[in-house]
Amino acid sequence: MAKLYFHYASMNAGKSALLLQADFNYRERGMATMRWTSALDIRAGGGGIESRIGLAAPAWRFDADTDIGAAIAAEQAAGPLACVLVDEAQFLTPAQVWQLARVVDELGVPVLCYGLRTDYRGELFAGAGALLGIADTLVELKAVCHCGRKATMNLRVGDAGDDAAPVIGGNERYVALCRRHFVEARGA
């Protein structure tokens, strides 16, 4: 039975690496998959998904106007899909999350989404909020704060320009912290 999964964590928890590992497992068994990532993510040259540990694969790209459901249905019509994997799922719109739910419910294709739960201000991303609300399975991945506690927050560091604009980045842009150290660092 197909399900909609949301694997969420702060930065540095290995979300992209786990997505690529799951994708490899399907493909190694001769099963077709469809990988997606946000068009905002240009770290891998804008053409795919890349983890900090060096794993990479090409991917379809979505922005707020992409009809992900239609694209997946077209791929499924061309040949059976065993799984759809979505990186940077926090940037999905709520409508796109519902499209993915229909892929699960109507096409019978499992969808595995990986992303952040909250932004650098501690506020829910729209896509993450929709996934938290309707996903069949929620999986919290663990990252570790410098104090050894579970890191659940993402502190943006350095000059990021417009405070409200999304900035994609890794260790040079964000630090994963526990809530206590996040609050201390922000001076809130």
Residue type, 63: D
Torsion, CA 8, CA 12, CA 18, CA 20, rounded to 10: 120
What is the rounded distance in angstroms from the CA atom of residue 174 to the CA atom of residue 48? 21
Question: Catalytic pick from 50, 75, 88, 172?
Answer: 88
CA–CA dist 164, 169 (Å, integer): 15
Name which of 144, 141, 125, 73 is nearest 102 in CA terms.
Answer: 73
Length of the chain equals 188
- Whether 75 is a known active-site residue: answer no
Q: What are the DSSP E strand ranges found in 74-146?
A: 83-86, 111-115, 137-140, 143-144
Which residues are known catalytic residues?
88
